[in-house]
Amino acid sequence: MSESSLAEFPLFMQTRMSPGLETERLIGAYTQNREGNQLLFFGGIHGNEISGVKALQRVFAHLKKHRPSFRGSVVGLAGNPPALAQGKRYLERDLNRLFDLESLRAWQLLESEHGQDGNERPKAVTGEAREALELYRIIERLVQTGTPTQRIFVDLHATSASGGGFSVIRDTEANREIAARMHLPLIFGLETQLQATLMNLLYRMGLTGIVFEGGQIGSTEALEVHTAGIWTLLTGLGCLHPKDVPDYRTHINRMIDAAEGLPKAVQTRYRHAVQPGDGFAMLPGFGNFHPVRSGDLLAHDHRGPVLAPQDGMLLMPLYQQQGEDGFFLVDSVDY
Ligand SMILES: [Zn+2]
């Protein structure tokens, strides 16, 4: 039984390597070519949400060093290396709103028309569009290789507000099961409020996956929750034996503790859209799952006070400059 080398992942070696950038596309890859699930993790689709990247680096460093027995395969990819290098959510456009299948196919065509002379990169597709296209190509090729038990995609994010790990999923049995393995609260219906996210592309391609929000951007908690969630999923799906995971019990407990006191499942009822120049400013002190009543003052913008349009719980109130979602309101649902 030998540790796989990156050479066994030629697909990923073909992705761009960006000299001078701190973070490259491939964070890590591990397999022993045994039957099992194929897991693909994305970190840093938003370049200021580094907990996912750091957690993946930790996990792959451990796998590389200790070479535990492993079923299936796991790959970790950095979503937006140029934005990660600058610690910004994005540089030109929000990468997580560019995964529209028609646009991706159009960009693909544009690139092929520019030819593959191996010299200068075609200028037709640049910036975040290029990142989206590269990720799409990887996904497209990945789903055509091998015959894993299941293909599972996990997109690691963090929020500008404080509070808790949770999952954002389309409500299917398979997606529920992934989130349940990590003991994560389920957020339903949020994906329908957002256009052209990576997860929406995956769902459109008929794939299984979840968004895994680890906690507040830059917090130790988010890094620990992301790390614990990755280990918990790898063991829960039978890729790894718990004895091969460092501090396995601590990770399980961390996931259970993170979900403590939170609803098991919520439905998204409302999204407050923010346009550039709105002057949107959330009142301080709100975290994820903070209960609000209809009419509560939540924020201000150039038009005046922003009130809660209905009862519910706040999700992802915006406490950063970049972003188009002021806040969401969610309701507990039976699960
Ligand atoms: Zn994000």
Write the pLDDT tens digit of every residue in 123-140.
679 999 999 999 999 999
> Which residues are registered as beta bridge partners of 166?
213
Lowest mean pLDDT among 5-14, 62-71, 123-132: 5-14
Reported CATH class of domain 6-259 = alpha beta
Write the pLDDT tens digit of every residue in 163-190.
879 999 999 999 999 999 999 999 999 9
| Per-residue pLDDT at 14 | 40
Write the pLDDT tens digit of every residue in 97-112.
999 999 999 999 988 8
CA 166 – ligand 1 centroid, Å: 13
| Per-residue pLDDT at 121 | 53
Closest CA to 141 of 129, 133, 150: 133
CA 113 – ligand 1 centroid, Å: 33
Cβ-contact 248, 173 below 8 angstroms: no
pLDDT score of 19 more than 50 = no
pLDDT band at 24 (very low <50, low <70, confident <90, very high): confident
CA 319 – ligand 1 centroid, Å: 13
CA 49 – ligand 1 centroid, Å: 6
CA 45 – ligand 1 centroid, Å: 6
CA 241 – ligand 1 centroid, Å: 30
Domain edges within the chain: 6-259, 269-332
| Per-residue pLDDT at 116 | 59
CA 159 – ligand 1 centroid, Å: 7
CA 145 – ligand 1 centroid, Å: 28
| Per-residue pLDDT at 11 | 46
Q: Please state, rounded to an integer, the average pLDDT across all residues of the chain.
A: 91
What are the residues whose beta carbon lies below 5 Å from ligand 1 (ion)?
Answer: 46, 49, 157
CA 114 – ligand 1 centroid, Å: 32
Helices (H), 148-239: 173-181, 198-204, 220-236
CA 95 – ligand 1 centroid, Å: 9
pLDDT score of 10 more than 60 = no
CA 67 – ligand 1 centroid, Å: 31
Distance CA 179, CA 152 (A): 11
Cβ-contact 76, 43 below 8 angstroms: yes
Cβ-contact 263, 332 below 8 angstroms: yes
CA 5 – ligand 1 centroid, Å: 30
CA 169 – ligand 1 centroid, Å: 14
Domain 6-259 and domain 269-332 have a common topology: no
Share of the chain above pLDDT 90, in %: 83
Cross-sheet strand order for the sheet of 26-31: 26-31, 73-78, 38-43, 151-159, 208-216, 166-169, 186-188, 265-273, 325-332, 312-315, 291-292
CA 103 – ligand 1 centroid, Å: 21
CA 195 – ligand 1 centroid, Å: 14
CA 150 – ligand 1 centroid, Å: 25
Closest CA to 226 of 21, 30, 49: 49
CA 13 – ligand 1 centroid, Å: 25
Q: Where would I find the beta strands (DSSP E) of the chain?
A: 26-31, 38-43, 73-78, 151-159, 166-169, 186-188, 208-216, 265-273, 281-282, 291-292, 297-301, 304-307, 312-315, 325-332
Closest CA to 49 of 142, 203, 160: 160
User: What Å distances lie between residue 183 and 25, 26, 180, CA to CA?
Assistant: 28, 27, 5
Please report the sign of the dihedral spanned by the C-alpha atoms of residue 305, residue 328, residue 320, residue 19.
Answer: negative
CA 157 – ligand 1 centroid, Å: 4
CA 156 – ligand 1 centroid, Å: 7
Largest Cα separation within the chain, whole Å, is 65
Which CATH architecture is the domain 269-332 placed in? Answer: Beta Barrel (2.40)
CA 154 – ligand 1 centroid, Å: 12
Distance CA 317, CA 327 (A): 4
